[in-house]
Amino acid sequence: MAETPCKLLRYLVSDGSHVDADTPYVEVEVMKMCMPLLSPASGVIQFKMSEGQAMQAGELIARLDLDDPSAVRKAEPFPGSFPVLGPPTAISDKVHQKCAATLNSARMILAGYDDNIDDVVQNLLLCLDSPELPFLQWQECFAVLANRLNKDLRNKAKLTSY
């Protein structure tokens, strides 16, 4: 397959012939440079593009019937499951955002991912010890809800909350 947009200049072997692994089989022009493409394995080549034809990335240049098809590793479906990562979190110097990121790191450790447990626990304890944490968490929740409240109720909630 063509890896980038290019032009197939000429065949270096004839159609239907045998090519060895790492042998040049075509010459292509990419950004005014002529480059040979090498066969990834040994086999009989069948060209799907003609000389002088322009190609886009991903287009099939030739088909290679392998000498040893058993040497190719077959793709297999992934049998496991991926972890639920949740929405992205912004990490800043604010204690409530550090706390959320640290809690996420702790969850990932419990799910089996590698991280420095001592640092995560230390950061979590520092966050939980901060007197600003509950206020900043409430403020963040209120900011989300405030846009959904009507103006009078939002102003009344602001006055009674501070």
Backbone angles phi, psi at 18, to 5 degrees: -90, 135
CA dist list (Å): 151 to 101, 141, 142, 144? 32, 17, 14, 14
Its pTM stands at 0.46
Pair 114, 56 in one domain? no
Please report the pLDDT score of residue 64 as a whole number. 92
Domain residue limits at 41:
6-67
Rounded Cα distance, 36 and 61, in Å: 13
Q: Are strands 24-30 and 62-66 parallel, antiparallel or unpaired?
A: unpaired
13 domain-assigned: yes
CATH of the domain at 10: 2.40.50.100
Is 156 a member of any domain?
yes
Residue closest to 90 by CA, chosen among 153, 143, 154, 22: 143
Tell me, yes or no, whether 104 and 50 share the same domain: no
What is the pLDDT, as a whole number, of residue 9? Answer: 93
Per-residue pLDDT of the chain (162 residues; tens, 9 = 90+): 788 889 999 999 999 999 999 999 999 999 889 999 999 899 999 999 999 999 998 899 999 999 988 877 888 898 888 877 766 655 678 888 889 889 988 998 998 888 889 999 999 999 999 999 988 888 888 777 777 777 787 777 665 554
Q: For the segment 91-104, what is each residue's pLDDT rounded down to a tens digit?
A: 678 888 889 889 98
Distance CA 39, CA 99 (A): 53
Looking at the structure, do residues 62 and 104 belong to the same domain, yes or no? Answer: no
Residue 62 and residue 99 in one domain? no
Give 102's contacts (C-beta < 8 A, 6+ positions apart): 120, 123, 124, 127
Indicate whether 108 and 153 sit together in one domain.
yes
* Per-chain mean pLDDT for the chain: 86
pLDDT of residue 69: 86
- What is the structure's pLDDT at 121? 93
In three-state form (DSSP H/G/I as H, E/B as E, the rest C), the secondary structure along 62-116 is EEEEECCHHHCCCCCCCCCCCCCCCCCCCCCCCHHHHHHHHHHHHHHHHCCCCCC
